[in-house]
Amino acid sequence: MATVSLQGLTKEFTGTAAVDNLRLDIADGELVSLLGPSGCGKTTTLRLVAGFLQPDGGEIKVDNEIISSPSVLIPPERRNMSMIFQSYAVWPHMTVGQNVAYGLKFKKLAKTEIEQKVERLLRLVHLETLRERYPNELSGGQQQRVALARALVVEPKILLLDEPLSNLDANLREEMRFEIRRLHEEFRITTIYVTHDQAEAMVTSDRIVVMNKGRIVQVGSPKEIFDQPKTRFVAEFIGKTNILVGRMEKENRVSLADGLGVTVAQGAPAAGDGQICVCVRPHNILLTADDSEARAMAEKGYNLFPAVVQRRIYFGDAVDYLLEMPPHPMTLRVVASPSRQYEKGQKVFALAHRDHCVVVGEG
């Protein structure tokens, strides 16, 4: 196993910083996802860790040993890392068993030991019955399991994954997210996982590193990133959200458009003249058409917004509403249980508890 430390890591292409003074410490056995939109620098960071690129500034340490800097570059083959790419990259002329065993040939192990290691990995990824098949006889998910087994069988100190599920369909992607997490819990290999899919990051990660424009915006557990985003960018990139824009009029009270206001979570910034943003997740908003119920909830700390249903979309396990609040220009998106349903044009009350109204930075 290994610790990884990125200190002031910088990489430029044609004068533009793809990775800009990035600082991150990854603990032994931790799975950290680099999450962000295309062009945010996450894949460049992974390639720097792998040794495919040399940094223009800063350094990368593994177990306190410098492996990359502007003057040092340990080649990829000497880093004891395994990498899994977007494409499965399995050898088409080899069987499943031969693909998994390939990396062990360079370790000069006895044939019986190779056989034992391959057999164990095939069982762990549920491919033991497909050992003699060729890649063109496998599904995409099965091929990605082969790639995982091949990467793990050589017992790397660090595992790197670059958008490994992007070529799978939605159902297989969901299945493989849990598979990757299960295998990580089995092996506890220090892992860096690059993805633009927030669901993948939420399922697989111990911590998520949200990146934008080559910089780290926020680092935290999936729960911290989702429930306590620090900026508008993080709030909007991680899951669905409503952003209410206003000004802090007094402690924990934000004035919105046309006289509307919202009480926010404790510990919000002190009153000031600057514009601020409030994040309210759609699933944290309750709906009722009952006036007395709405007033009772307001007395328990819920913000109350009279509204009209503009749009309703039924998803089976939830109903997605878009609410208008005339004469105010603001709209709210609400994801609610289908146990109560409201019709388009119906007057309702939207209720959001102050603890779910989180002030975030504009960035």
| Range 137-147 average pLDDT | 90
Across-strand partners of 34?
A: 194, 209
Question: What gap in Å lies between CA 65 and CA 74, rounded to an integer?
Answer: 11
CATH of the domain at 137: 3.40.50.300
- Give residue 270's pLDDT: 56
User: How many structural domains compose the chain?
Assistant: 2
Average pLDDT, the chain: 92
Instruction: Say whether both 9 and 72 belong to one domain.
Output: yes
The range of the structural domain enclosing residue 72 comes to 4-233
Residues 6+ apart with CB under 8 A from 348: 287, 288, 289, 307, 308, 309, 323, 342
Instruction: Say whether both 326 and 350 belong to one domain.
Output: yes
Q: What is the pLDDT of residues 49-62, one digit of tens each?
A: 999 999 999 999 99
| Residue 280 pLDDT exceeds 80 | yes
Pick the last residue of a domain from 233, 262, 278: 233
Instruction: Say whether both 258 and 166 belong to one domain.
Output: no
Residues 6+ apart with CB under 8 A from 162: 43, 46, 83, 84, 85, 86, 194
- Give residue 267's pLDDT: 67
| Range 236-244 average pLDDT | 93
| Residue 20 pLDDT exceeds 60 | yes
- Give residue 268's pLDDT: 65
- Give residue 251's pLDDT: 76
Residue bearing the bigger pLDDT, 273 or 190: 190
Instruction: Say whether both 226 and 139 belong to one domain.
Output: yes
| Residue 282 pLDDT exceeds 70 | yes
Q: What is the percent of the chain where pLDDT is above 70?
A: 98
Instruction: Say whether both 229 and 246 belong to one domain.
Output: no
Strands 285-288, 275-280: pairing kind: unpaired
| Residue 168 pLDDT exceeds 90 | no
Pick the last residue of a domain from 233, 268, 289: 233
Instruction: Say whether both 196 and 342 belong to one domain.
Output: no
Instruction: Say whether both 281 and 203 belong to one domain.
Output: no
- Give residue 271's pLDDT: 53
| Range 210-228 average pLDDT | 96
Instruction: Say whether both 256 and 199 belong to one domain.
Output: no
| Residue 108 pLDDT exceeds 90 | no
| Residue 42 pLDDT exceeds 90 | yes
pLDDT category, 167, cuts 50, 70, 90? confident
- Give residue 351's pLDDT: 97
| Residue 285 pLDDT exceeds 90 | yes
CATH of the domain at 262: 2.40.50.100
| Range 15-43 average pLDDT | 96
Which strands, in side-by-side order, build the sheet including 319-325? Answer: 285-288, 347-353, 302-314, 319-325, 328-336
Helices marked H in 108-251: 111-124, 140-153, 170-187, 198-204, 222-227, 232-237
Task: State the SS3 of 72-139.
Answer: CECCHHHCCEEEECCCCCCCCCCCHHHHHHHHHHHHCCCHHHHHHHHHHHHHHCCCHHHCCCCHHHCC
Pick the last residue of a domain from 233, 264, 296: 233
Instruction: Say whether both 126 and 177 belong to one domain.
Output: yes
Instruction: Say whether both 184 and 314 belong to one domain.
Output: no
Instruction: Say whether both 90 and 170 belong to one domain.
Output: yes
Q: Could you please report the per-residue DSSP string of 260-328?
A: -EEE--TTPPPP-SSEEEEEE-GGGEEEE--HHHHHHHHTTTEEEEEEEEEEEEE-SS-EEEEEEETTE
| Residue 269 pLDDT exceeds 70 | no
Q: What is the percent of the chain where pLDDT is above 90?
A: 75
Q: What is the pLDDT of residues 305-336, one digit of tens each?
A: 999 999 999 999 999 999 999 888 889 999 99
Instruction: Say whether both 251 and 315 belong to one domain.
Output: yes
pLDDT category, 87, cuts 50, 70, 90? confident
| Residue 223 pLDDT exceeds 60 | yes
Strands 16-26, 31-35: pairing kind: unpaired
Question: Which region among 100-114, 183-197, 277-291 has the lowest average model confidence (pLDDT)?
Answer: 100-114
